[in-house]
Structure formats: C-alpha cells, structure tokens
Amino acid sequence: MIAFLLGLALVFGGLGIGAQFAESSTGPQAVVSYTVRPGDSVWTYAALITPAGEDVNANVDRIMKINNLSTPNLQAGDRLLVPSDQG
C-alpha cells in the first residue's frame, strides 16, 4: 500500500503548479493544484495525502469541501485543489 501511494505521489507530484492557498471554514491552508487526468477520482487525490492506516474518506470530504464539489465525480481536464499538508 505504501509503495502504491508513493507511486501515486511521484506520478501526480509533477502535475502541481506549486503551493497556493485556499480559504475554508478552518482558515487558509496550503494547496496544490492538479489537472485531473482520465480515470482519476477524488479518492485518488485523497489517498495521496492520507497517512498509512488512516481513513481516506476524511480527506475525500476535505477535498470536496475545498473545491465546492457536490459529487466526487471528476472530468478529465478539471482543476482540483488538494491540501499539501496532512492535517
């Protein structure tokens, strides 16, 4: 599982355009902007920032909130903000 997540991090790491900041109810937080690729899901990005053994669902909800998504469905080409921290 760790190797899988590390692989995803390496694949998606080059897609970000640097840390940015997004406002949320918990205050500003550092985010990375990704361009969604075919087959990607909110779960894909949430798994990148979820420490091993922790619940990915919490980060799915977090990403959906930051991006004002009402559904976890993504379209290739969409821009998605993902927290760059793990808290």
* Count of helix runs (H) and strand runs (E) in the chain: 3, 3
Q: Residue 33: which H helix or E strand, with range? A: strand 29-35
Q: Convert the pLDDT of each residue in 34-81 to its tens digit.
A: 999 999 999 999 999 999 999 999 999 999 999 999 998 899 999 999
Q: Convert the pLDDT of each residue in 1-30 to its tens digit.
A: 655 555 655 555 544 444 445 555 556 778
Structure tokens at 61: 């909800």
Residue closest to 84 by CA, chosen among 31, 37, 40: 31
